[in-house]
């Protein structure tokens, strides 16, 4: 009886040669953009963080409780200039990088592409999904957005995260993945 099972398994096994020109490409996927509110939030967080740092530097520089060493007093304008440059670079990065984040769904997989300087493209087969989480911080929650984290089977951390999704879309994608992760590939 064991021999019949192994013969049936051998008949089901195939290892055909594939021609690269016949393989499907990820360019066939219709990639969708994330919410433009995500970019506004990132720019706001960048600018807000740098404003808070500038306020702390100013408070320490002009506080009346102790004397600030003379060398540090002379560095104050340079520190403010550095924080301003950092804020501008951080905000400009998000203006250009966040529009590059796109995602796509097919019957058998989920894809993500992102990156301004270093382009990254990931494709996760739905059959390999262990679980899916919707992540929402306080600022993202106020904007009614969410991030969808996809965890691969055998991995401790998420395979990739699609940020800046409207909450309803994140819930739809999560439910689609959960409904189809046990369906065998065709």
The CATH number covering residue 115 comes to 2.30.29
- Boundary of a domain, candidates 97, 115, 135: 97
Q: What's the confidence (pLDDT) of residue 4?
A: 53
Do 144 and 86 lie in one domain? The reply is no
Q: What digits encode the pLDDT tens for the residues 125-156?
A: 888 888 899 999 999 999 999 999 988 877 67
Q: What's the pLDDT score for residue 54? A: 94
Give DSSP secondary structure letters for 66-132.
SPPPHHHHHHHHHHHHHHHHHHHHHHHHHHHHGGG-EEEE-SSEEEEEE-SSS-EEEEEEGGGEEEE
> Structural domain of residue 128, as residue ranges?
102-186
How many domains, in total, are found in the chain? 2
Is there a domain that residue 156 lies in?
Answer: yes
What average pLDDT does the segment 94-111 reach? Answer: 92
């Amino acid at each position: 009886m064991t021999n019949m099972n192994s013969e049936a398994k051998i008949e089901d096994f195939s290892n055909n040669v594939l021609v690269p020109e016949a393989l499907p490409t990820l360019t066939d996927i219709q990639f969708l953009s994330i919410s433009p509110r995500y970019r506004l939030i990132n720019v706001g967080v960048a600018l807000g963080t740098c404003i808070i740092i500038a306020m702390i530097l100013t408070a320490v520089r002009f506080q009346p409780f102790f004397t600030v060493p003379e060398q540090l007093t002379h560095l104050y304008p340079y520190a403010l200039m550095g924080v301003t440059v950092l804020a501008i670079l951080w905000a400009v990065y998000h203006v250009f990088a966040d529009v590059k984040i796109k995602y796509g769904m097919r019957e058998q997989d989920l894809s993500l592409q992102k990156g301004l300087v270093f382009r990254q493209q990931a494709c996760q087969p739905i059959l390999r999904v262990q679980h899916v989480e919707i992540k929402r911080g306080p600022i993202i929650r106020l904007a009614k957005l969410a991030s969808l984290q996809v965890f691969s089977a055998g991995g401790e951390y998420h395979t990739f995260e699609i940020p800046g999704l409207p909450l309803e879309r994140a819930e739809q994608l999560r439910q689609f993945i959960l409904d189809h992760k046990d369906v065998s590939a065709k």
